[in-house]
Amino acid sequence: MSMTTIPLAGRELDSQCPYCSVQCKLRLTPEPASGGEPGEPFRYRAQGAPNAASQGRACVKGLNAHQHAFSSERLLQPLIRREGRLEPCGWDEALDAVAELWRSRIAAGDPDSIGFYGGGSLTNESAYWLGKFARIGVGTRHIDYNGRFCMSAAASAGVRAFGLDRGLTFRLSDIPEAKCILLAGTNVAECQPTLMPYFNEAKENGAYLIVVDPRRTKTAEAADLHLQLRPGTDALLAVLLLRLVLDEGLEDRAFIEARTEGFDEARRQAEALDPAEAAARCGVPLEDARSAARAYASAETAILCTARGVEQQTDGHEAVRQLLNLVLATGQIGRPGCGYGAITGQGNGQGGREHGQKADQLPGYRSIEDPADRAHAAAVWGVPPDSIPGKGVSAFDMMRLVHEGRIRALLVMGSNPVVSNPHAGFVEEALGRLDQLVVADLFLTETARMAHVVLPVASYLENEGTLTNLEGRVLLREASMPPPGEAWADWAVLNALAERLDRQERFRCGSAEAIFEELRRASRGGAADYAGISYERLRKEGGVYWPCPSEEEDGQGLLFADGFARPGGRAQFAARTEAGTGAVDETDGGYPLLLTNGRVLAHYLTGAQTRRSPALASRELESFLELHPRTAAALGIEEGEWVSVVSRQGEFAARGRLNAGIREDTVFAPMHWGGRQNVNRATRPELDPVCRMPGFKTTAVRVRPLRGGGA
């Protein structure tokens, strides 16, 4: 495979960070590389550029992101497996091979044996195109995406409680107006660092900050009150907080009366709780819980946010709903300075879940099971409604179908599932059974290495398209340069495949903007309505919030000021009946500790990109296991030594890192490494019954030193 230096443009580039959901705008300035030898490529220095979300800030990941785009490891040509080895080939050969197998499955009447697995890094245009391609290019019901592991619990909870799922129900600019902020299972300081100044400003204005996290994170360090709960007990803690609010009569009667339904059941459940026992089970002092309840309910304005700590649980849906009960009972939503926010994860984690990559969804956040919604999509696509397949299954459920041999071919576009799925050993085994695995990526990732066909695609610097940030603000990212080598835009790959399936008439759009124009029509009238947004407008205004039904309107920043998106405009309280599996993997003598996991500042997700950016990779070279010094002492583990972490599913290795800021019954590892350091070799396959989110954040494990090299 040719690995030539990518020609650099040698001029200033305006771009947008490819990583987290803030979507900071960036400006890259070329500088001669050291010595400025003739012919030597430029180096780029990145700075944050003005934009409403990050206000011109950028974090270390964004500032070094271009290093991966310029990496010598970029894939520049398609690869095909011949006699067990991946070898370079031309696009025609690669695409013909993919389409030939698909055609035979379709001809055999089994398009459902072809699966599609998308991602939240894809632009809205590519995500929309992928959903459409799966449904009416191939005709399979089997499509889902990595956002299932990310946003699904908050999404399902938001839809049921409010009738709408948008990451933040408020504007970022509301944060400084909040007098109390409760951050549950979200480590903003490391995961959305450029948002921290909003929280700091709130604190300067006198806000009381509560952080709920089993670890003393950088975010927790900024808190007035840190509830250091036992992992997996957020649902119980939320009911406890509601109970303590009710005990002091701090609920907002008028709001409950006028704007909600189902409160009585929520109240009965909270009143049935024994507060002392609940606090003990959560591992939180009752008095601290009381302080939190008081501060949140009695503040004039308050914001409550969750992220993956609460959501990536087998009762993630339930846990979010119980926290939403607290929001509704105290009326802390729908006013400036108030609201609920699920802090979205990936760059396009928000838009990626609105336009049809999800198994049960059509563009515009429409439902694939609703006849009117199907008719709308069918009309835009020019197909009969009954030609659109029904609902498929969730990402991990798809892996189960792969393992069972019911899905025989899989296209992965924008994900590295071998590292990011729970129970990675099972997933690797499953993918190994496929007749054909196709991976479209920038790099030969852990997953791409297993593929039969690898397709090189454009990076953020080369790929024009829109992305929707955590506030629901749609942003246009312009392409700065052509893709290197023979890499293509994701949507262009799908067009070429459609041609080979004789479906080209439905996939004629030849630019991101043309696809966006179709997306506008497909989303018109849906919950995530983009009809009023155009590239021209985005260029002029810098960004537009959805819903935005017409070009004459501004989008909506603050949601639910006048009513909720449910029939009758009322929000719905949850009673504790929807889940019931319990979040926590049972610990016992064999597996006495709870493993949780997450992120560090310098790396992003499976590390596919950040491990290939030298400035980022050098900050954290390898994985670690954070454990309390007393826990470490009891296990005979010393700072810096390699340890083995064993669960009922599997084992991984990491370097021990002692930290008195973590609970003694809990250990933590980041998720950014593959191979033997992959934390997901240990995580378990159980899913939330409502949203099918895996219980990533709680796995029972035992830990021991790896001294002497023994496995």
Ligand X SMILES: Nc1nc2c(c(=O)[nH]1)N[C@H]1C(S)=C(S)[C@@H](COP(=O)(O)OP(=O)(O)OC[C@H]3O[C@@H](n4cnc5c(=O)[nH]c(N)nc54)[C@H](O)[C@@H]3O)O[C@H]1N2
Nearer to Mo ion, 361 or 436 (CB): 361
Does position 121 interact with ligand SF4 (CB under 6 A)? The reply is no
Tokens (6 digits) for 331: 């009326």
Does position 236 interact with Mo ion (CB under 5 A)? The reply is no
Say if CB 666 and CB 596 are below 8 A apart.
Answer: yes
Does position 44 interact with ligand X (CB under 6 A)? The reply is no
Rounded-to-10 torsion of CA 64, 192, 676, 214: 150
Show contacts with ligand X in window 425-484 (CB under 6 A).
440-443, 445, 457, 463
How far is 105 from 87, CA to CA, in rounded Å? Answer: 25
DSSP string, 287-348: HHHHHHHHHHHHSSSEEEEE-HHHHSSTTHHHHHHHHHHHHHHHT-SSSTT-EEEE---BTT
Q: Name the segment binding ligand SF4 (CB under 6 A); options: 14-22, 279-287, 301-309, 562-570.
A: 14-22
How far is 427 from 407, CA to CA, in rounded Å? Answer: 13
* Burial letters 641-679, b for 16+ CB under 10 A, else e: ebbbbbbebbebbbbbbbbebbbeebbbbbbbbbeebbb
Q: Name the segment binding ligand X (CB under 6 A); options: 90-98, 239-247, 307-315, 538-546.
A: 307-315
Report the nearest approach of ligand X to the CB of residue 575 (Å). Answer: 22
Question: Which one-letter amino acid corresponds to residue 706?
Answer: L
Does position 345 interact with Mo ion (CB under 5 A)? The reply is yes
β-pair partners for 411: 116, 438
Which residue of 113, 194, 325, 556 would you call a contact of ligand SF4, by CB under 6 A? 194
Report the nearest approach of ligand SF4 to the CB of residue 502 (Å). Answer: 41
As a residue count, the chain comes to 711
Which residue of 696, 701, 703, 706 would you call a contact of ligand X, by CB under 6 A? 696
Does position 19 interact with ligand SF4 (CB under 6 A)? The reply is yes
Which residue of 42, 70, 116, 149 would you call a contact of ligand X, by CB under 6 A? 149
Query: Per-residue x/- marks for ligand SF4, 527-566, CB under 6 A?
Result: ----------------------------------------
How far is 187 from 397, CA to CA, in rounded Å? Answer: 28
Does position 167 interact with ligand X (CB under 6 A)? The reply is no
Say if CB 441 and CB 454 are below 8 A apart.
Answer: yes
Nearer to Mo ion, 112 or 190 (CB): 190
* 314 CB-near residues (< 8 Å, 6+ apart): 579, 581, 582, 583, 686, 687, 688, 689, 693, 694, 695, 698
Query: Per-residue x/- marks for ligand SF4, 20-49, CB under 6 A?
Result: x-xxx-------------------------
How far is 569 from 552, CA to CA, in rounded Å? Answer: 25
Does position 64 interact with ligand SF4 (CB under 6 A)? The reply is no
Pairing of strands 13-16, 25-32: antiparallel
Residue 22 binds what, of Mo ion, ligand X, ligand SF4, none (CB under 5 to 8 Å, by partner type)? ligand SF4
Nearer to ligand SF4, 17 or 493 (CB): 17
β-pair partners for 412: 117, 439
Query: Per-residue x/- marks for ligand SF4, 67-96, CB under 6 A?
Result: ------------------------------
* 308 CB-near residues (< 8 Å, 6+ apart): 150, 185, 186, 345, 598, 696, 697
Report the nearest approach of ligand X to the CB of residue 294 (Å). Answer: 20
Say if CB 478 and CB 466 are below 8 A apart.
Answer: no
How far is 254 from 257, CA to CA, in rounded Å? Answer: 5
Nearer to ligand SF4, 20 or 501 (CB): 20
Report the nearest approach of Mo ion to the CB of residue 345 (Å). Answer: 3
Show contacts with ligand X in window 209-268 (CB under 6 A).
212-215, 217, 231-232, 234
Q: What angle do CA 241, 301, 210 make, to 5 degrees?
A: 45
32 DSSP assignment: E
Tokens (6 digits) for 518: 């179709």
β-pair partners for 209: 181
Does position 490 interact with ligand X (CB under 6 A)? The reply is yes
Tokens (6 digits) for 609: 């990109």
Q: Name the segment binding ligand X (CB under 6 A); options: 130-138, 245-253, 613-621, 678-686.
A: 678-686
Residues in binding contact with ligand X, number by CB under 6 A: 65
Tokens (6 digits) for 428: 């690797």
Report the nearest approach of Mo ion to the CB of residue 423 (Å). Answer: 18
* 114 CB-near residues (< 8 Å, 6+ apart): 102, 105, 106, 138, 140, 142, 407, 408, 409, 410, 411
Nearer to Mo ion, 149 or 296 (CB): 149
Show contacts with Mo ion in window 471-510 (CB under 5 A).
none
Which residue of 192, 269, 415, 436 would you call a contact of ligand SF4, by CB under 6 A? 192
Phi-psi region of 267 (alpha: psi -120 to 50; beta: other; left: phi over 0): alpha
Which residue of 130, 413, 427, 617 would you call a contact of ligand X, by CB under 6 A? 413
Nearer to ligand SF4, 192 or 322 (CB): 192
Which residue of 61, 259, 603, 702 would you call a contact of ligand SF4, by CB under 6 A? 61
Does position 58 interact with ligand SF4 (CB under 6 A)? The reply is yes
Nearer to ligand X, 378 or 427 (CB): 427
Which residue of 338, 671, 687, 701 would you call a contact of ligand X, by CB under 6 A? 671
Residue 17 binds what, of Mo ion, ligand SF4, ligand X, none (CB under 5 to 8 Å, by partner type)? ligand SF4
Nearer to ligand X, 18 or 139 (CB): 18
Single out the residue of 369, 397, 352, 410 nearest to residue 691, CA to CA. Answer: 397
Does position 150 interact with Mo ion (CB under 5 A)? The reply is yes
Report the nearest approach of ligand X to the CB of residue 347 (Å). Answer: 8
Report the nearest approach of ligand SF4 to the CB of residue 310 (Å). Answer: 20
Show contacts with ligand X in window 572-601 (CB under 6 A).
596-599, 601
Q: Residue 518: what are its φ and ψ, rounded to 5°? A: -70, -40
Side-chain-side CA neighbours of 45 within 13 Å: the count stands at 6
Q: Which helix (H) or strand (E) holds 632?
A: helix 629-635
Nearer to ligand X, 54 or 346 (CB): 346
How far is 424 from 650, CA to CA, in rounded Å? Answer: 9
Report the nearest approach of ligand SF4 to the CB of residue 260 (Å). Answer: 34
Does position 416 interact with ligand X (CB under 6 A)? The reply is yes
Report the nearest approach of ligand SF4 to the CB of residue 193 (Å). Answer: 5
Residue ranges that bind ligand SF4, judged by CB under 6 A? 17, 19-20, 22-24, 54, 58-59, 61-62, 192-194
Residue ranges that bind Mo ion, judged by CB under 5 A? 150, 345
Residue ranges that bind ligand X, judged by CB under 6 A? 20, 61, 119-122, 146, 149-150, 184-187, 190-192, 212-215, 217, 231-232, 234, 307-310, 312, 345-346, 349, 413-417, 419-420, 440-443, 445, 457, 463, 490, 596-599, 601, 603-606, 608-609, 668, 671, 679-680, 683, 696-697
